[in-house]
Structures are given as C-alpha cells and as structure tokens.
C-alpha cells in the first residue's frame, strides 16, 4: 500500500490543483511501481506560512519582504 504525503504552504492551492496532484501521483505510482491505484493513498497537508521557514526565517516574513525561494 503506497502512501504519499505532499506538504505545501497554505497559499491558495485550489481543489482542482489538489485533485491533479492526487491523480498524477497515483498514476505515477501505478506506472512506475505497478501498484494498484485503489491501494495508493495520497495525503496533501497544507501548512501555514508562519509554520514553515527556510534560511532561518519564517516563510510569512519572507513573503512580506517580497522574497521567494528562487530569489535567495
């Protein structure tokens, strides 16, 4: 039973985008590992930007400063 956990910051990921992620990951697991899609579980966890950080700074603070991961 494959279990895949996707963590993203809570910044407007739509229901449709989540469905695309779930379907895409399930299809990939099925294709690459030959696993039954009915036994593949995909969980998407949204994390508030106050609770996510990198380079020693909260993501919410970096966003306020107009800094993203690709600008560091």
Catalytic residue among 2, 21, 49, 52: 2
Beta carbons of 52 and 9 less than 8 angstroms apart: yes
How many CB atoms are closer than 10 A to CB 60? 16
Burial 2-18 (b: 16+ CB within 10 A, else e): eeeeeeebeeeeeeeee
Q: Is 37 a catalytic residue?
A: no
Catalytic site positions:
2
């Amino acid at each position: 039973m494959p279990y895949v956990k996707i963590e993203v910051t809570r910044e407007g990921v739509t229901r449709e985008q989540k469905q695309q992620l779930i379907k895409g990951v399930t299809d990939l697991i099925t294709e690459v590992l030959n696993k039954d899609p009915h036994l593949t579980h995909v969980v998407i966890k949204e994390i508030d930007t106050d609770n996510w950080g990198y380079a020693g700074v909260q993501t919410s603070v970096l966003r306020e400063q107009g800094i993203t991961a690709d600008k560091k």
